[in-house]
Amino acid sequence: MVEENNSDVQDAPAEEQATESAAQSAAQSEAQSEAQSDAQRDTQNSDAAPSPKADDKPAKPAKPTKPPLDGRPDEIADVIDEEEPVRQEGMDWFVLRVASNKEHSVRNTLLRKVQIDDKMEWIGRILVPTEKVKTFKAGKQKITESKLYPGYVFVEMRLEEDGRIQQDVFFLIKETTGVGDFVGTAGRPTPLKDHEVEKMLRDSRKPDDEPTLRLTFDKGEEVTINDGPFEGYEGSIDEVMPEKSEVRVLVTIFGRQAPIDVKEWQISKVGES
């Protein structure tokens, strides 16, 4: 009996140690499991985007603004100041062929593209010279604005040393709707001569308050007098006098031709009255 009790006393510490070791292993495993769960939750929280509030509204994209034209004129009637130089340093004036009635559209598009692509060092002023014209028709006066050089746009530009258009500038211009070719040989435009530039710039100066008078009749045209003492007479225009807004009409009176001076609004072309 004594030997059995000693055997039980010796086995007890071993069993207690095994139990404690198993408890410690379980505790460590549980702690590791909790640590991994916490790490996973932290990762999910950091990756997840914050949910928007109910009253939050998405920001509206900013409206594109029209690029400034760096002081260049942007009105329909191209005008330049008296103080402006004939040429900017290192540049010449060239003539660009464009589609009919597309002159202003081409000009404004080129100005925007030059500004956006930052090509001001290669392209300067772009002009479409115009003039105000006063005409008379059926007794009514009409003031219109007409292009002095229909089908052409004047471009102030710097060329490469070999006389060719800088490559980026070439494609900027050629890819514009309504553009044709420059006056000159292919890839080598011909610059305007001094007297041509001076005339073009003079035509582009600010117009006077009084528009130019342009009569709508030509010498030799058959007309009918619609007003005055010779109303109903027909004749041919012998002379045009724009400074007086008059024309001289040759009419037949008693079998003989007589010159009659009438205002332009007093006549019309035969068949139009």
Which residue ranges form the domains of the chain, and what is each CATH number? 92-213 (3.30.70.940), 222-269 (2.30.30.30)
Ranking 17-26, 65-74, 218-227, 242-251 by mean pLDDT, the lowest is 65-74
Quote helix, strand, coil % in the chain, to nearest 5: 30, 30, 40
pLDDT-based confidence at residue 136 (cuts at 50, 70, 90): low
CA dihedral 168, 170, 174, 179 (to 10 degrees): 130
Cβ proximity of 188 and 124 under 8 Å? no
Is it the case that residue 5 has pLDDT exceeding 50? Answer: no
Q: How far apart are the first and last CA of the chain?
A: 153
Q: How far apart are CA 39 and CA 193, in angstroms?
A: 80
Give 234: exposed, middle or buried? Use CB within 10 Å, 0-12, 13-18, 19+.
middle
pLDDT of residue 78: 52
Please give the backbone phi and psi of residue 92, each rounded to the nearest 5 degrees, phi first: -130, 165
pLDDT of residue 109: 95
pLDDT tens for each residue of 207-216 = 554 555 566 7
pLDDT tens for each residue of 197-243 = 888 887 766 555 455 556 678 889 999 988 888 888 999 999 988 77
Q: Which two tokens stand for residue 135?
A: 């005409």
% of residues, the chain, pLDDT over 90: 31
Q: Which of 23-32, 132-141, 144-153, 158-167 has the highest mean pLDDT?
A: 158-167
pLDDT of residue 154: 94
Query: Which residues make Cβ contacts (< 8 Å) with residue 134, sequence separation at least 6?
Result: 141, 142, 143, 211, 212, 213, 214
- pTM here is 0.50
pLDDT of residue 167: 92
pLDDT of residue 214: 60
